[in-house]
Structure 1
Amino acid sequence: MIVNNEQTRMIKIARTTGIWYLMMAITGILGFMVFHSQIFVSGNPEQTLSNLVALESTARIRLLLEFAIVLSQALTAVWFFKLFKDNYEWEAWTLGIWGMVNAIAIMISAISIASAIGIANSDMSITEDKVLLIQILQHMISNAWGIGGLFFGLWLFPMGYIVIKSKRLPIWLGRVLILGGIGYLISTVIRYAGIDFSFNRFLMLPATIGEFWMIGYLLIFGIRPIN
């Protein structure tokens, strides 16, 4: 009975982790892939400034989605720690800390978005100054996500390691997560080394597959009992 109660508790924790992870994925897709390009035009701060003024409500939705990404990323990291800490304490700490660094990287982006909205809609009379500041903030947003890719990849290593070592989730899930982490790191290094590699974005495909696989498994099955 004690074993059954403990397994029930662990499944509940696993499914809660899956919910936070799913929220992070949904808000990330909506915020970064759907709304972001409607406001922030790469290489065109003038158009971005116009969008921030004319589409202020859309820009604020983009900002709120960034808040949601930060919150759900932080909660996902905490719940992963809670899920694995009893048997894999060191790895769970690593997973939780690196997940929190992800949240901090995105928080820098959120601060920059909020600043861009404020500057664009301020009483500053010199348009050229606004454009320059918007350009700087655009670079900060882009690089917060870009350099954040280091830790977006790193946190997949302890996650994958625990999956493989514990055998409480599919072993191949752990392997795909680790492969995804490697892809993220290589992709980030290639980007900032200035190497022109047209297939760079495909390096992150294993991470996408692994993370959605993890979300689905946690939500549907939870976690297997200890053998």
Structure 2
Amino acid sequence: MHALTRTARVTGLFYLGNVITAVPGLLIVRPQLFAADDPNATLANLVTHESLARAGVALALGMVVTQTLAAAWFYRLFRTVDSFAASGIAAFGLVSAIVGLVSAAMLATAVEVSVDPVGDAAANVQVLYLVSDDLWGVGALFFGLWLIPMGWCVLRSGWMPRVLGWILVGGGVAYVLSAFIRYLAPDAQVVAEALTYPASVGGLWMVGYLLVRGVRRQALDEAPPTVPTPTRVAS
């Protein structure tokens, strides 16, 4: 396997791991535990479903690990295309991982408070979940920002379909806008959510392309050899 293809597929594997760990935690585990308008219900859910709550923390930590590795490997993949843009992917991706790490700490603390109450346990647990939720809300800025240089590298390299590059750039911009709308226009949450869909489409397409195709064959023909051929010295 060509080194460039191998790098692309490893990157896709880490990106897939990020999806696998992030989606269940956010869309399945959290709704079963967090009752937005009822702190006592949230506390009761954590006490009753402690194993599920701890699994949610583990998924959050898995997201941090896979996000960090994906950011590093995206830099490795695209550094020869545009080092500045590749550095942007890595930097914004690492900030997203840090946001996820802090959110995981909030969730872990909520579990511990539910097991060993401190003060008003229901109120404390609810605040921890609210802060965790808003960390993801403001962290959407960096999730959107990391897609923009990713799309730019797709466009510059020609290694993937250009449509994918434009979807990533447009989806990244829309995702950043969704973070502002969430807090500036609380009654327009449907709009804010709709703005995240292009980014989801682009991200899943990127995962699939990296895993199945890696890069276009043309890119492999144009890529420099990984090991230079030694020059024969005439005697």
Q: Residue by residue, what CA displacement relative to the aligned partner does 1:185-212 show, whole Å, maximum 9, x if unpaired?
A: 1111011113421332111110010000
TM-score w.r.t. length of structure 1: 0.92
What per-residue deviation string (whole Å, max 9, x for no partner) do you get for residues 28-59 of structure 1? 11111111111112222211111111110010
Report runs of 4+ in structure 1 exceeding 2 Å deviation: none
Report the TM-score when normalising by structure 2: 0.89
Opposite residue 172 of structure 1, the aligned amino acid is V
1:117-150 alpha-carbon deviations (Å, 9 max, x no partner): 00111054x5xx1122112201211111100000
**1:36-83 alpha-carbon deviations (Å, 9 max, x no partner):** 111112222211111111110010111100111111111100100111
Please give the residue correspondences for 1:7-46 in structure 2 after superposition, counting only pairs within 5 Å.
Answer: 8-46=2-40
What does residue 174 of structure 1 align with?
165
Tell which deviates more after alignment, 104-113 or 134-143: 134-143
Instruction: Tell me, yes or no, if the aligned pair for 2:81 and 2:153 is still in contact at 8 Å.
Output: no
Instruction: Give the counterpart of 1:162 among 132, 145, 153.
Output: 153
Question: Which amino acid is the alignment partner of residue 139 of structure 2?
Answer: G
Structure 1: unaligned runs, 5 residues or longer: none
Name the structure 1 match of 2:48: 54
Whether the 8 Å contact between 2:34 and 2:42 is mirrored in structure 1 is yes
CA distance in 2, matches of 1:94, 1:44: 40
2:129 match:
138
Counterpart residue number, 1:184: 175
Q: Which runs of 5+ in 2 are unaligned?
A: 223-235
Aligned residues: 218
Cα RMSD of the aligned pairs, angstroms, is 1.3
Q: Does 1:210 align with 2:202?
A: yes
Structure 1 counterpart of 2:228 = none
Aligned to 1:99: 93
Q: How much identity, in percent, do the aligned residues show? A: 37
Does 2:115 align with 1:121? yes
Q: Distance in 2 between matches of 1:24 and 1:116?
A: 23
Q: Distance in 1 between matches of 2:89 and 2:37?
A: 35
SS in 2 for 1:93: helix
> Distance in 2 between the 1:123 and 1:16 partners?
43
SS at match of 2:31: helix
